[in-house]
Structure 1
């Protein structure tokens, strides 16, 4: 029995060593989450306008086209929970912060928690952005815990696409020349639909928490609805869009936030989009300039 156990241990040692080396290697690969965290640790003291939100903000808002001292802290599929975490995470470093732009629209106000449908992204917040909602010994503490994202990350790395944003956090890989016309067919238009009231109220509470933080720190909060294609809006239930406006209007009334709704802005056409609800690089430059002008940046 002792000899058997010794052989088992002897066999497992190289396996564990290989896993440890692979995990270490995966963590050395540059990524957008680490890049944004390190940028904020170095430069948050000089940020005057901070942009928070999901892919709608990540691809739509280009700081270099908006003005000085602006940083895009959005990430793909970022939930309002992570928005609130990131806002507070760097709070002791803000010296110049005057304004927060937060995406609050049909794409995120009905989201399920990240742990429910994209747990691998929780790992990135855990490892690279200081998020501590789970133990580092849980599945969220290891790159290798999700095989799909493991292979995807390696593929992007070897294609030279590990960090898919510019130096100020804007997602620059939705190039208009690469758009697929099939994405604009009505049957293929994306839908962000209501799941249940528990998640909806949870998201509303995070918006209120962000608004409360901004009010307490005398920071102006802009609740932003980004431009989307007409068919994207047409597919959304009317009551759902009304509920979004009710939630954001309530937040504005309670905390003094400002709502900016560009979801139906006629200055942007389908040619400015990469798909039905994300602006392309061309559209982002156009919209960023529009928003900067309207906000007086």
Structure 2
């Protein structure tokens, strides 16, 4: 029996050591969370314009085509809870920040990856961005919280020697380039829109109200700092738009219009069904612009509509 227990202890010790080594090597793999945290911490003193939100602007707004000192801090799957936390944490260290462009997607106002228990997002924000909104110790360990995803990530980087992060120096995500687009992306739009359409119930209504409150609180924070906040809905593919729930679109727009009407430093721009994006090459999929073509066109439009036409300053409160 003692010999058996000895072997069990030895095996357990080896397993623990291997797990620790795996976790250490996992954390050395480049990822957009750490990369964008480094941008705001290292470039904060020079930043004048920020792009925040989730994947629709992570790939859809190219800082290179806006004015200088613009950075894209949006992250795929990053919902409003984290956008708010990041701004509240870093805004005092951004002395020259004048404009924030906040990208809002069709489903954004009804989602929250903290309440929804998106373990991967929770762990990545906790480990790489030091945003601790969940007290479960599980999320301090990437191997335990992401499971098989961590093994695929490790293999991709260390065995296949492929990139795990495709952001350029300004934060634009080039994994949405046309060269990365799937062949059946148009045929996949009905499945995509099905996952983005929200069923009306008590839970989703609660999430909606909480997310609108978060936007309102950010608007107030920006107002006290003399910063303009632009709420922007990027364009989607025509087939995607045709399949959207009209009631969900209207509710989204009415809520954002109300925030803009409440605060004199907030503007709302809706490009959701913009006919200037009829060319399929503008899109990576149904609701994401291609980062090498669609994003360039959209950013040029934003520069003309927003930064070039809205030169009035906001006096800090």
TM-score, scaled relative to structure 1:
0.93
The reply on whether 1:141 has 2:145 as its aligned counterpart is: no
Q: Is the CA contact 1:53–1:102 (under 8 Å) kept in the aligned structure 2?
A: yes
Distance change in 2, residues 1:144/1:189 (3 Å) = closer
Counterpart for residue 164 of structure 2: 162
Q: Is the CA contact 2:126–2:132 (under 8 Å) kept in the aligned structure 1?
A: yes
Match of 2:193 among 187, 190, 193: 190
1:163-200 CA-to-partner distances (Å, cap 9, x unmatched) read 21111111112122443352213534534122421111
Q: Is the CA contact 2:84–2:214 (under 8 Å) kept in the aligned structure 1?
A: yes
Counterpart for residue 236 of structure 1: 244
Counterpart for residue 200 of structure 1: 208
1:178-233 CA-to-partner distances (Å, cap 9, x unmatched) read 43352213534534122421111121121112112111211100000001012222
Distance change in 2, residues 1:164/1:177 (3 Å) = closer
The reply on whether 1:33 has 2:33 as its aligned counterpart is: yes
Counterpart for residue 218 of structure 1: 226
Give the secondary-structure state (helix, strand or coil) at the position aligned to 2:230: strand
1:2, distance to aligned residue in structure 2 (A): 7.0
In structure 2, how many angstroms separate the alpha carbons of the residues matched to 1:129 and 1:229?
A: 32
Alignment of 1:226-265 (within 5 A): 226-256=234-264, 257-265=266-274
1:4, distance to aligned residue in structure 2 (A): 6.2
**Gap runs ≥5 in structure 2:** 309-317
Counterpart for residue 107 of structure 1: 107
In structure 2, how many angstroms separate the alpha carbons of the residues matched to 1:159 and 1:245?
A: 44
Q: Is the CA contact 1:189–1:231 (under 8 Å) kept in the aligned structure 2?
A: no
> Bigger CA drift: 7-16 or 50-59?
7-16
TM-score, scaled relative to structure 2:
0.87
Distance change in 2, residues 1:210/1:238 (3 Å) = same
In structure 2, how many angstroms separate the alpha carbons of the residues matched to 1:118 and 1:134?
A: 11
The reply on whether 1:172 has 2:169 as its aligned counterpart is: no
1:139-175 CA-to-partner distances (Å, cap 9, x unmatched) read 2111101223203322442343122111111111212
In structure 1, how many angstroms separate the alpha carbons of the residues matched to 2:4 and 2:155?
A: 40
Counterpart for residue 303 of structure 2: 292
**Gap runs ≥5 in structure 1:** none
1:134, distance to aligned residue in structure 2 (A): 2.4
The reply on whether 1:279 has 2:289 as its aligned counterpart is: yes
In structure 2, how many angstroms separate the alpha carbons of the residues matched to 1:67 and 1:160?
A: 32
Give the secondary-structure state (helix, strand or coil) at the position aligned to 2:12: helix
Counterpart for residue 84 of structure 1: 84
Aligned residues: 296
Match of 1:268 among 273, 277, 281: 277
> Bigger CA drift: 244-253 or 108-117?
108-117
Counterpart for residue 122 of structure 1: 122
> Bigger CA drift: 176-185 or 205-214?
176-185
Q: Is the CA contact 2:190–2:240 (under 8 Å) kept in the aligned structure 1?
A: no
Q: Is the CA contact 2:103–2:231 (under 8 Å) kept in the aligned structure 1?
A: yes
1:54, distance to aligned residue in structure 2 (A): 0.5
